[in-house]
Amino acid sequence: MIRAIIPARTTTRGEAVMVEKRFTREVGRRDFLRYAGYAGMSVSMAGVLAACRDADTPSGGSSGSVKASIPPIEQEPGGLQVFDWSGYGNGDYYPKEEKKFLWGQYAKATGDTPEFALFENDDSAYTKVVAGARYDVAHPCGYRYGDWVDLGVMQPWDTSLISNFPSLNPKLMAAGQFDGQQYFVPMDWGFIAPLVNLDHVDGSDETFGVLFDERYKGKIAWIDTLNMMVVAGYTLGIENPWDMSDEELAEVRDFLVSKKGLVRFYWNQSYDFWLAFKKGEVWAGYSWPDTVGYADAAGMNYLYMQPKEGRISWVCGLGLFADTENYRHAHEYANSWASKEAAEFLLAYYYYGHTNTEADPSVVPDGVRTALGLDDPTVLDEPKAHPETHIPRRSIYQQYWSEVQAA
């Protein structure tokens, strides 16, 4: 999600909502998208998530009591170093006078203002840490959690120090657990699916195949990442698109090469896709839910498909660096992100779901609820949604995707 004046960066989650709100203020439509907050991913927790709280699933638990060697917070240096997607924690994209930072509770509790280092996407973030960069807290997405843990640079959270932790969806917390310990605290989540303009696209067959449909040549947008390999894998009926053989990768590569002539552009910025979709320059595209909120508020005749192959769902969360000198500050920061107030701010301003099950769903308009299937308690379950999953041979996928780009 991207602001109107776009810096040189790629594939971010968490900005375009701020841009649309800022833009609508500038043109005098102050209430544009006021109720288009993407609370649904948390709202389903009135059905999906609230039910999960009572389910027989891992609770995340506590990583154990704080060691005596950990100093009190007053003895920590502060100036918490947070490695995050641009637009989430640094607060560049919403009015600061509202004092609704995702880390607002942290600021009140500690008097500290975090220092943010920003990354473009999960791959660049991981690469930077591999090269030696260290922070206090990082915010990668779930399909890379295992990579970070395997590096040996992370430590588990002591969830007893996160008072809001019991309010978080236990099923999604399980995604951050390794060896029975909570190495990541999942916070934000959403979907990947095709968004189409029904004035021009036949929506009767809901499928990822619309992104490869010859009828819409020159009116299709793809994301500019190797995730297109996964989407094509689902479209071709490959059993496990997250762990394909060389033969399957070659099949996917050849398919994408044969279809790339249909594509008007590849987006690195979700907001770029929205602008093209709004103007009618593209009629179908790989989409996150922010664009759904915009299309709904704009009164467009759209469909956010529930593809027969299943939507892809993603979840991102906070990890704690092993060598942090701000152990207690970091826990206060995670607690702030996990709060009901932060959840509702994320929902209303970013259009993404939050794992807090107590967030108020009233900000969700009917159109968005319907588009995202939020009244369906099975919306996150297989086969309707496939969780974004670790790709064991990611470097090989990247090689094949590079061949698609170069063709």
Local confidence pLDDT in tens for the 407 residues of the chain: 322 222 222 344 444 444 444 333 333 222 222 223 333 344 444 444 344 444 433 344 444 455 567 899 999 999 999 999 876 766 554 555 555 678 889 999 999 999 999 987 888 899 999 999 999 999 999 999 999 999 999 999 999 999 999 999 999 999 999 999 999 999 998 899 999 999 999 999 999 999 999 999 999 999 999 999 999 999 999 999 999 999 999 999 999 999 999 999 999 878 899 999 999 999 999 999 889 989 999 999 999 999 999 999 999 999 999 999 999 999 999 999 999 998 888 877 777 888 999 988 777 778 887 887 767 778 889 999 999 999 999 999 999 999 999 99
The CATH number fitting domain 40-189+315-372, selected from 3.40.190.10, 2.60.40.420, 3.90.25.10, 3.40.980.10: 3.40.190.10
Q: One-letter amino acid identity for 233?
A: G
Q: Can you say whether the dihedral through the CA atoms of 20, 25, 27, 28 is positive or negative?
A: positive
CATH match of 190-312+384-406 with 3.40.190.10: yes
Please give the C-alpha separations between residue 144 and each of 124, 244, 331, in angstroms, as whole numbers.
12, 17, 21
Query: Closest Cα partner for 100 from 295, 363, 394, 327?
Result: 363
CA trace torsion 90, 176, 47, 89 (10° rounding): 0
- Return d(Cα 169, Cα 188) in angstroms, integer: 11
The pLDDT value recorded for residue 53 is 40
Q: Do domains 40-189+315-372 and 190-312+384-406 have the same CATH topology?
A: yes
Question: Strand 81-85 vs strand 137-138: parallel, antiparallel, or unpaired?
Answer: parallel
Domain boundaries, the chain: 40-189+315-372, 190-312+384-406
Give this prediction's pTM: 0.80
DSSP 187-254: EEEEEEEEEEETTTS--SS-SGGGGG-GGGTTSEEEESSTHHHHHHHHHTT-S-TTS--HHHHHHHHH
Q: What are 84's strand-pairing partners?
A: 118
